[in-house]
Structure 1
Amino acid sequence: MVAGLDTVAPIERQSVAEQVAKKLMELVRTGSLKPGDQLPPERELAQILQVSRPSVREALRGLQILGVVKMRQGGGVYVTALEASDLLAPLQFLLELNAPTVDALHEARILVEGTIAGLAAERIDAASRTRLHALLAVQRGLLRDPVGFRVSDMEFHRVIYTASGNPFLERVGGSFFVLGMEYRRIASETPGVLERSFADHEAILAALDARDAVAASEAMRRHMTSVYETTLAAMEKVR
């Protein structure tokens, strides 16, 4: 045997179902299949791809688990809206099962959201600032309503992501937010946590109003640290 080949992993053969799934994913990636598009019936799809119906069925089942397609009542397979909440559901499930990864998630959020807030301070427009002030006014009345506050919290951060003017950071920030939602749900039920988040939001908005990138970035990082600390404390209580 040639030296070193004994340590090389064998080449893995892809199943037909995996090949079908990859072809469909490529169609989505290139825009040939768009959100809301209905896929051909299983039989027709099998004929087009020259594979068996069971292989198509297995591929579609896998893509459904990944949040790329969904089965609608009454028949039909459709491309999802491809929102972060759909595509990150499997990873969110893994995070729920592996709580220590919350450390890495919040480390990433501190870095990304701090940068986003700094850019937003420089680029935010009047309409976005008006929207954020309106959201804070709503949040003030939701300090005893964890569900309502979480909804407004998501919108507050979404507006800031968009205000950064960077679509890539906007998508990454939104994805991280979705991944942290389950942990945040636990924390938001704890007395005093919503008040702490609201105070953080006020500080962030003050920095955005002042167009102070450094202050906005620091305020957002403090907020992320607060989220991390209160989340860990809440998780300890439910163990």
Structure 2
Amino acid sequence: MGNATFLDINNTSLEKVAHRSVKDEVAERVATLIASGVLSVGAKLPSERDLAATMGVSRETVRGALLILSTKGILSIVQGARTKVISGNVGNLGLSALSNGRVTDYSLEDVHEGRLMVEARLSELASTRIDAKTLDALSALIKVQEKAMNNPVNFLIADRAFHTAVYQSSGNAVLSDLAATLYSYQLDDRRRAVSKAGAIAQSIADHRLILAALVARDADALAKAMGVHERRIYDSTRELLANPTNEVKT
């Protein structure tokens, strides 16, 4: 599966629901990771090659997105060195709730209920509207996730790409953006939760069930698979917050 195929899919999805370039979308994804704390000031980003694979776009698109963040003083790009985060102030890039520093305004329970409701409706739409190219992209993203089994940050980048592709396949811009916003709350807690042994493997198994339901165009099976997955995310994050001393150090 080549990057060009991913790029075509992302262009198609964005034309339907976002009306912005893929480069801008990638810049917003990276900004979200910074705003949520997954990538803190001083953190080094994955290589352009790895970012391209985990986000499902071309290296040229990644390079352009990083340049956007660099010109805004968010990233430092030095020839021969890994790109580094130098500012946590992402301004109006990414999701507004995150950029305004309101990552923890909503409780875990509220976010959980919101995701269940929104994703249930998205399941109905996506099961009938998703196309073959997006199904291929989701399959490829699962393979990328398998390669990130021991890298929580890379896994979450690919994980977000997977969920975003499902959301955008619904063809509903409002629901897609809302679901993506809810996904991004407490993302740094999610990073710590997936650092636990077996957590990434379980998420990948959940993703396979989601993909199987999409391939079958089975809305009920998709809603169930996404609901089980969200419940697992909720339980693991709640456990982490209740017992912070048990988290895995990364």
Q: Which interval holds the TM-score relative to the shorter structure?
A: 0.5 to 0.7
Compute the displacement of 1:139 (Å): 1.1
Q: Specify the code of the residue in structure 2 equivalent to 1:235.
A: L
Residues in 2 aligned to 1:182 and 1:118: alpha-carbon distance in whole angstroms? 29
8 Å Cα contact 1:120/1:163 also seen in 2: yes
8 Å Cα contact 2:194/2:200 also seen in 1: yes
1:103–1:123: structure 2 CA closer, same or farther, 3 Å change rule? Answer: same
Q: Deviations over 1:179-198 (max 9, x none)?
A: 13122112111111111111
Tell me the secondary structure at the aligned position of residue 92 of structure 1. coil
Question: Unpaired runs of 5+ in structure 1?
Answer: 1-34, 36-70, 74-78, 96-100
8 Å Cα contact 1:129/1:209 also seen in 2: yes
Residues in 2 aligned to 1:191 and 1:108: alpha-carbon distance in whole angstroms? 28
Say whether residues 1:88 and 2:98 are aligned partners: yes
Compute the displacement of 1:88 (Å): 2.4
Q: Specify the code of the residue in structure 2 equivalent to 1:83.
A: G
Q: Report the identity percentage.
A: 33
Compute the displacement of 1:80 (Å): 5.5
Tell me the secondary structure at the aligned position of residue 190 of structure 1. coil
Residue of structure 2 aligned with 1:223, choices 223, 229, 232: 229
Point out the structure with max Rg over C-alpha.
1
Q: Specify the code of the residue in structure 2 equivalent to 1:206.
A: A
8 Å Cα contact 2:104/2:186 also seen in 1: no
Q: Specify the code of the residue in structure 1 equivalent to 2:140.
A: A
Q: Deviations over 1:60-79 (max 9, x none)?
A: xxxxxxxxxxx956xxxxx9
- Which portions of structure 1, spanning 4 or more consecutive aligned residues, are displaced by more than 3 angstroms? 79-82
Compute the displacement of 1:83 (Å): 2.4
Q: Specify the code of the residue in structure 2 equivalent to 1:142.
A: A
Q: State the TM-score, normalized to the length of structure 2.
A: 0.59
Q: Deviations over 1:152-191 (max 9, x none)?
A: 0000001001101111101101110111312211211111
Compute the displacement of 1:232 (Å): 1.2
* Residue aligning to 1:156: 162
* Residue aligning to 2:174: 168
Higher relative contact order (CA 8 A, sep 6+): 2
8 Å Cα contact 2:203/2:229 also seen in 1: yes
Q: Specify the code of the residue in structure 2 equivalent to 1:152.
A: A
Q: Specify the code of the residue in structure 2 equivalent to 1:91.
A: R
* Residue aligning to 1:194: 200
* Residue aligning to 1:236: 242
Q: Deviations over 1:27-50 (max 9, x none)?
A: xxxxxxxx9xxxxxxxxxxxxxxx
Aligned length: 159
Question: Unpaired runs of 5+ in structure 2?
Answer: 1-23, 25-70, 74-89, 246-250
Q: State the TM-score, normalized to the length of structure 1.
A: 0.62
